[in-house]
Amino acid sequence: MPTPLKAGEVLRGRYRIVKIIGQGGMGSIYLADDLRLEGRQCALKEVEHDRTLPADLLQQARDQFQREATVLARLDHPNLPKVSDFFSAGGREYLVMDYIPGKDLRLMINDAKQKSTFLAERDVLNWASQIADALSYMHSQNPPILHRDIKPSNLKLTPTGLVKLVDFGLVKILASNEVTITILQGRGTALYTPLEQYGGDSGHTDVRSDIYALGATLYHLVTNQPPPEARELFLNPSALIPPRQINSEISPRTERAILWAMNLHPDERPENIRDFREALLGSWDPVIKPRANLPEPSLGDLVSSPVDQALLWFSALVIFISLALTLMK
């Protein structure tokens, strides 16, 4: 992990570091004062590329960051932080975004658990509507933009009640010729990541991957329990407890929409965010196709990385041996 910057350091003669507000494997996120605009604070997303890469590949990665940052800077939506600047310093790349005050929804879940209660369904659906708006906007760009890391901690609730989808760390831009570029390679947070995304950049992801992640996030919000990982569900589909068995106060409609979004096979999910939002909030209550109507997903369909395929089969073998030993006792 890169050595983090210290409070008081100034980057580009403009951004003075206040503190770290997030950390990841390839860098940190900082709260910074904008010295050019008095009173404005911003968030600096730091990216340090793998310095073991050959010089030509390292330059390609830096050029790619510049291209992608330019695309993100053009986004303008009330439920997304505005990207205002990007630059290089000390061998690292920085993306400058609006700093979003407020609590993230992971903290809201923890507060509800401590009080032995659940978040109100009407509030969760309101947040879901806002995030669906943001995703619809991203997915409608040319080329479409995927977020790929939707989760409660990446959803910030502002004091005015607006929800912002933050952290563009794994954003994926779908080029028309099927070539994809990403700001940071990665797979997202496992609890909310569909199987097809386990292949990293080589995974066959599309807008339905974000729909899975949003469905998994909503599952956590209405139940106070994180969903099982997709690879666990691949081995044991019954591990996913229907939301109403945990929180009987939510509507059958909400449960059906969440489970529809969380199907392992992309073809079994809503085709686009508009259909998912309509199922969750609108007048259309779809009849979800039974799994028998569609082919079961195979590892080849969903996970393109040989390492991840081996990991899944190894996990299956461990589970089988554990069950066998239990039965022998």
CA dihedral 221, 227, 230, 232 (to 10 degrees): 180
- Residues known to be catalytic: 149
Residue 279, in any domain of the structure: yes
pLDDT, residue 64, reads 78
Residue 277, in any domain of the structure: yes
Question: Do 115 and 16 lie in a common domain?
Answer: no
Which has the higher per-residue pLDDT, 325 or 277? 277
311: CATH: 1.10.510.10
Write the pLDDT tens digit of every residue in 219-278.
999 999 999 999 999 999 999 999 999 999 999 999 999 999 999 999 999 999 999 999
Write the pLDDT tens digit of every residue in 264-317.
999 999 999 999 999 999 865 555 544 434 444 555 554 444 545 555 555 555
User: Pick from 82, 98, 114: which residue ends a domain?
Assistant: 98
* Model confidence pTM above 0.85: no
61 confidence band (pLDDT: 50, 70, 90): confident
| CB atoms closer than 10 angstroms to residue 281 | 16
53 confidence band (pLDDT: 50, 70, 90): confident
Question: Do 213 and 292 lie in a common domain?
Answer: yes
| CB atoms closer than 10 angstroms to residue 179 | 9
Question: Do 136 and 65 lie in a common domain?
Answer: no
Question: Do 92 and 53 lie in a common domain?
Answer: yes
Q: Collect all residues with Cβ–Cβ distance below 8 Å to 181 and sequence separation of at least 6.
A: 64, 67, 68, 172, 173, 175
Range with the poorest average pLDDT among 93-102, 191-200, 209-218, 249-258? 191-200
Question: Do 22 and 144 lie in a common domain?
Answer: no
- The distance between the two most distant Cα atoms of the chain, rounded to a whole number of Å, is 71
Residue 323, in any domain of the structure: no
pLDDT, residue 202, reads 46
d(CA 164, CA 320): 43
31: CATH: 3.30.200.20
Residue 2, in any domain of the structure: no
Question: Do 85 and 156 lie in a common domain?
Answer: no
Question: Do 44 and 124 lie in a common domain?
Answer: no
Inform me whether the pLDDT recorded for 144 exceeds 60: yes
Domain residue limits at 223: 103-317
Task: Kindly list the strands in the beta sheet with 155-157, ordered across the sheet, starting from the edge strand earlier in the chain.
Answer: 103-104, 155-157, 163-165
User: Pick from 38, 70, 98: which residue ends a domain?
Assistant: 98
User: Pick from 98, 133, 164: which residue ends a domain?
Assistant: 98
Inform me whether the pLDDT recorded for 183 exceeds 50: no
Average pLDDT over residues 27-35: 92
Q: Collect all residues with Cβ–Cβ distance below 8 Å to 184 and sequence separation of at least 6.
A: 24, 26, 47, 169, 170
